[in-house]
Structure 1
Amino acid sequence: MAWFANHYECYRCSEHWIDEWSCMCDDECPSCGARHATPIESEDLTFQVVADAGAFVVLRSPDSAEHRPDYEEVGRFASETLAKQFVARFERL
């Protein structure tokens, strides 16, 4: 399942906040409580590439993720470039 960091700006009080969720959904302002704020930007965090003991590990949020990403390892590579190429190919499927 996709995982996103949604960036919001409140239409009532101009508060800025970020909330992570499994979709690009509306949210409630944590400052004034205004409802149905739509993300002004969303970062796709479905895949993460992290360094681990001399390798680069690709993590993916699985289809079962709902309230947290629950990242699972889907590949381990000798270089960050190879790991990112793997993610690019996987995203095109």
Structure 2
Amino acid sequence: MTLIEQPSVTAMQTEASTVRYLNQYRCPYCQTEWEDSWDCGCNDRCPNCNKEIEPYESALIAGESAETELPGEDPDSTIVTAAGVNRFFVVSYEIDYVHRVSVGISAESPEAAQQIAEQAFNDATIWDDTAAMPLLSDDYHEAEGESLVWECVAVEQLPEPDHSVRQLKKEQAAMRVCRGLVEAYQQGEANGGSIDWDDLDQLIPLALQALGKPALDIQS
């Protein structure tokens, strides 16, 4: 871990701005620590790797001029930690993964089997899961070694979920529809073969969500 000392607040800076923030930074990429004074609790660039870093602590520094001091104020209380104000942050982490896909191939030799698989990969048909080339595995595995990297970025408002989250919600909705259909037919069989339409109607919004289509008003 590298500790870098930044220049402290000078008398000229104090005269120009009677109140400033003393921000404490710690870079999660190279573990460099430093502090710097700004007129707000803003991000700063790491002096070692130039990554933009959010301060982990920000303290208000009151001015030293007589005009800004309150009567009877304790000089030791001029530094107040900024706390109690919630802000929006996008916190992310990255982990290295290995994407491993396995298919079944009938061939005269390992070389011939690999050649068939490579051609299917180039043609984007290796995932078609056919009888001639069944898909056996399509999974992600963490790469060996520690590769976890965290990032925290301050934002004015949280962004909308991206495509990966929307796709995950579609898949979850589709599974709920499947479970609901099975349960509805099981309940109908228990009732002598009569399925309650209400059991199916409640699955329509989920089915539309799984298809990425807007919800419809179901007329009763």
Partner of 2:57: 41
Structure holding more helix per residue: 2
Partner of 2:74: 84
Matched to 1:16, the amino acid is E
C-alpha distance 76-23 of structure 1, shift in aligned 2 (>3 A): closer
Q: Higher relative CO (CA 8 A, sep ≥ 6), structure 1 or 2?
A: 1
Q: State, as a whole percentage, how many aligned pairs show the same letter.
A: 27
Provide the TM-score with structure 2 as the length reference: 0.24
Matched to 2:40, the amino acid is C
Can you give the 5+ residue segments of structure 1 that lack an aligned partner in the other structure?
49-58, 60-71, 89-93
Q: Deviations over 1:12-60 (max 9, x none)?
A: 101000010000000000011112x000001110x25xxxxxxxxxx2x
C-alpha distance 83-9 of structure 1, shift in aligned 2 (>3 A): same
**Structural RMSD (CA):** 2.8
Matched to 1:83, the amino acid is E
Offset at 1:76? 8.2
Partner of 1:69: none
Partner of 2:29: 12
C-alpha distance 13-23 of structure 1, shift in aligned 2 (>3 A): same
Partner of 1:22: 39
C-alpha distance 43-13 of structure 1, shift in aligned 2 (>3 A): same
Offset at 1:73? 2.5
Can you give the 5+ residue segments of structure 2 that lack an aligned partner in the other structure?
1-16, 79-220
Equivalences for 1:59-74 in 2 at 5 Å? Answer: 59=64, 72-74=65-67
- Partner of 1:17: helix, strand, or coil? strand
Provide the TM-score with structure 1 as the length reference: 0.52
- Partner of 1:83: helix, strand, or coil? coil
Structure holding more strand per residue: 1
Task: Give structure 1 regions of 4+ aligned residues with deviation exceeding 4 angstroms.
Answer: none
